[in-house]
Homo-oligomer: A and B are copies of this chain.
Amino acid sequence: MDLAQSILEGNRLALARTLTLVENDQPEGQKAINALFAHTGRAHLIGITGAPGTGKSSLVNQLARHYRRPAAGMPARQVAIVAVDPTSPFTGGAILGDRIRMRNLSGDAGVFIRSMASRGTLGGLAATTASLVQVFDAAGYEIILIETVGAGQDEIEIARLAHTTLVVEAPGLGDDIQAIKAGILEIADILVINKADQSGVENTERALRGMLELAHPTRRPFLGEANPTPENETPLWIPPIMRTIATADEGTPELIEKIGEHRQHLLESGEWQQRERERLSTEMRMVLRESLLQEWLAQIPDGAYQAALDSLYQRQISPRQAVQQLLQNNKETKP
C-alpha cells in the first residue's frame, strides 16, 4: 500500500499506520511525510495548554464537537486532536485516555484522536509532534487541536508549533500558581477561564488581567518578539480572556469565534506566514544538526570518541575542550 496516496484518499487505516511509523521514527514514516509535505500548510493549528485540573481535555472535546457542526456560513470541519503528555511515563495511560475520549466523539469519522506519551525520541517531543501534525494537515484535517500539560520548555516549544495558543486556567487553583501563569502568558493568544461556574472566577480573571497589563503595559508586541520599530507596526493582538464551562458546554461557540478572529488577525498582519516560516526553519535546523553529528561520528577513527570521553571522565579536560580536541585531531588526520 502506498501510504501517502492512501492518506490523501482519506484512508483512516493508512493514516493511523503512518502516525505510528512517524512517532517511532521509522524510515517509511519519513518517506510518507516527504510525499505528503506538498499538501501541508492548510490546517489551523490550535494549541491548548494549562495545568492539570483545569478541565482542559473536556474543553478540547467540546471544541472538536463544535467544529464538527456546520454553523452560520461555516461548513463542518475535519478535526484532529494530538494530546501530548510528556509527564506520563505509562503509555497505557495515554491509550486509556484515548478510549474514554473516543466514546464521547465516537462514530464520527471526521474526528481523529492521537495521544503521545513518548519522550526522548531522536528529535524530541516537539519535533515528533510537528511531524504528526504534518501528516494530519496533509490528510485534510483543517482543525488540529494540540493539547499539552503544564508550562515547561517542552510545552512552550510545542505551543510554538501552533498558530493560536489557548492557555486554560480554572478558578480556585490558588495564587501559588502565579509563577506558571506569568510564564505562560508569553505564549497565550487567548486566555480561557474554564469551570467558570466555580467560586473565585472573579479573582482569577482579575489576577489574569493584572498580569496581562504587566506584560503589555503600553500595548507592546508580545515578549520575545522583535522590538517594535515605527516601520513594522502591525495591529496588535491583546490576548482576550474568555469564560467557559466545558462540562455544560457553555462558552464554546464564543471561544470558537475568538479563535477565528485570531486566525484572521494572523493572516492580515502577516504573522501567519512568519510563524510558518520560523517553524519550518527551526525544524530544518534541528534535523541538520543531528544529521551532521551522525555523519561525523561515522567517519572518525575507531576509539577517538571513547578516548575523548575517557579524558573527560578523568577530568583532564572539560567537555568543551574534549570537543575541540576531537574536531582538531580529526582535521589533522584527514588527507
Binding site for B on A (CB under 8 A): 30, 33-34, 37-38, 40-41, 52-53, 85-90, 93, 119, 124-125, 134, 149-155, 174, 176-180, 182-186, 215, 223, 276-277, 280-281, 283-285, 287-293, 295-296, 308-309, 312-313, 315-323, 326-327
Contact = CB atoms under 8 A, between A and B. Distances in A.
Contacts of A293: 285, 288-289, 292
B327 A291 contact: yes
Contact of A34 (B40, B155, B292, B321): B321
A88 B182 contact: yes
Nearest to A183: B87
Among A52, A86, A182, A186, chain B packs the most CB atoms within 10 A around the CB of A52
The copy count of this chain in the complex is 2
Chain A's interface: helix, strand, loop or mixed, by majority?
A: helix
A37 B289 CA distance: 27
A165 to B, nearest CB: 15
Contacts of A41: 315
Residue of A87, A149, A316 with highest tally of chain B CB at under 10 A? A87
B40 A315 contact: yes
B176 A89 contact: no
Contact of A90 (B40, B182, B315): B182
B313 A280 contact: yes
7 contacts: A87-B183, A87-B184, A149-B179, A150-B180, A280-B309, A284-B312, A292-B296
